Structure 1
Amino acid sequence: MEALVGGFTLLDSLALAFFLLCWFGYELVMGRAASRRHNLNETINAERHHWMQEMALVDNRIMDAGLQSSLQNGTAFFASTSLLSVGGSLALLRATDDVLTFLAEMPFGLATSRIAWDIKGSGLVIIFIYAFFKFSWAYRLFNYTAVLIGSVPRPGSNRGRNPQEAANRAASMSVVAARHFNCGQRAFFFALAYLGWFVSGYVLIASTAAVLFVMWHREFASDALAALAKSPAPPGT
């Protein structure tokens, strides 16, 4: 296809549009699926509410604190990984001349202009920055959840607060934190698809479609969702 502005072709433009449509379209579908409760995230969100309601009935909450800490630590790991990914992407932009020389010598030919490469690399940086903001905000929200867990009245407390309402507040905050965490993870997944654009627009379309299928399958048709739908096994089996 003939090159357009900055070395881009019509294929590049269509591939990028397809990539953005899949990403934001999937986010829209996930937002609307929240009311149907037929997907993995919403099923787990319901379990978050069950967890907090059970937590409000006991006095010893060491296990609950440990579980909440594991959620925070996992989020912190992804936030730090996002920063490393931003640094790696910026380093890729600094080495544009070396990369273009290397690609020109490849047997299958990946010739591209400097402007096109810099724009593609900048897009990758933006994706990882977005992921960092999502993960860092999720980490803070999980901290707020820990505070709300600690504020749930214990059995026999005479502070005048309703333990079940306080538990629902903690669960709702945990759900919001998980939603932002999931957005950050999707950014990582689509960043992997985005790497296909460095090869060609056709590869970007194929990699985006593959990532979209994997994410949809895990959310709506995975064995994890089937496991949550199963009835608990009777004792002794």
Structure 2
Amino acid sequence: MEPAQNTSYWLDAVALVYFFVVWMVYSYTTAKGFGGRKSLTYEMNEARRQWMATMATRELRMIDTSIMIGLQQGTGFFASTSILAIGGCFGLLNSSGRVLTLFHEIPFLNETTQQLFETKILGLLVLFAYAFFKFAWSYRLFNYCSILIGGVPMARDKGPDDPLVLASINRAAGINIQAGQHFNSGLRGIFFSIGYLGWFLHPLLFMATTTFVAIVLLRRQFFSTARDVLMRNSVSEL
């Protein structure tokens, strides 16, 4: 193996490790907070709990059913999109030789072998497969949540502090939050797959696009207008 090629392989390995480290750090930061700031996801989880508590006071729950249908449809759309992306990866594997020939004709691109190129495609396929399983499980959890919503007793009949009412609300809210978390994990896989595309051009670009995606996502979670709106406690602040 030539020294230059050996160096390139090491750079590929470093870039791949960097990709997963950034992904894990972002996931941890979203869950635990950033500089004392709560994430947009955390605030939405609180909104889900409030939704379930409000739902228990409604005699007719058609609006809650409509919301659940919308959540399931959105999740199903992304699951289907992930399946299509997986199929696209298999198609790319089938024509990897021709694609690699085109890549070699583009100047300033990193030299790569067909084996490494196909490994990169397989990695992209794994990302989409991960996203699909997350979306599929989220879809099923939203379905479970719909069943739990149907089983929540009327707070007006038993009283808002009745143990059965509170337990039913907590179960429905917990499953709803879990469904949202798995949906967010699937979306995270889709977002980071955009950064992963940089690896097909150059390992350094791979690290740059990964960093860019992480910065965009961090901004949306901790510094976006949507988060600021959720943090406001009174109507006068809106």
* TM-score, scaled relative to structure 1: 0.91
Is contact 2:109-2:201 (8 Å) kept? Answer: no
For residues 47-78 of structure 1, give each alpha carbon's deviation from its aligned partner in whole angstroms, at most 9, with x where no partner exists: 11111101101111111110111111100000
What does residue 175 of structure 2 align with?
Answer: 173
Partner of 1:215: 217
Displacement after TM superposition at 1:212 (Å) = 0.5
Alignment CA distance shift 1:109-1:169 (3 Å): closer
Aligned partner of 2:20 in structure 1 is 20
Kindly state the Cα deviation for residue 103 of structure 1 after the two structures are TM-superposed: 1.2
Letter in 1 for 2:73: N
1:157 deviates by 6.3
The answer (yes or no) to whether the contact 1:52–1:170 under 8 Å persists in 2 is: yes
Contact 1:39–1:225 at 8 Å: present in 2 too?
A: yes
Amino acid at match of 1:215: L
TM-superposed CA distance for 1:25, in Å, is 2.0
Given that 2:158 and 2:165 are in contact with CA atoms closer than 8 Å, whether structure 1 keeps it comes out as: no
Work out the CA distance in 1 between the residues paired with 2:190 and 2:202: 20
Query: Once the two structures are superposed, what CA deviation does each residue of 1:125-153 show, in whole Å capped at 9, x if it has no partner?
Result: 00000000000000000000000000001
Structure 1 residues 173 and 37, CA gap change in structure 2 (3 angstroms): farther
Matched residue pairs, number? 231
Give the alignment's Cα RMSD to 1 decimal: 2.1
Name the residue aligned to 2:230: 228
For residue 156 of structure 1, report the CA deviation from its aligned partner. 2.3
The worse-fitting range, judged by mean Cα deviation, of 10-19 and 183-192 is: 10-19
1:117 counterpart residue number: 117
Q: 1:152 to 1:109 in 2, by over 3 A?
A: closer
CA distance in structure 1 between the partners assigned to 2:72 and 2:190 by the alignment: 18
**Which runs of no fewer than 5 residues in structure 1 stay unpaired?**
none
Moved more, 91-100 or 22-31: 22-31
Which residue of structure 2 aligns with residue 192 of structure 1?
194
Q: TM-score, normalised by structure 2?
A: 0.90
SS in 2 for 1:162: helix
Rounded to whole Å, the distance in 2 between the matches of 1:141 and 1:106 is 46
User: Percent identity between the aligned chains?
Assistant: 38
| 1:19-45 deviation per Cα after TM superposition (whole angstroms, max 9, x unaligned) | 0110122222333349x7711001010
- Runs of 5+ in structure 2 lacking a partner? none
CA distance in 2, matches of 1:199, 1:109: 6
Distance 1:109 1:27, change over 3 A: closer
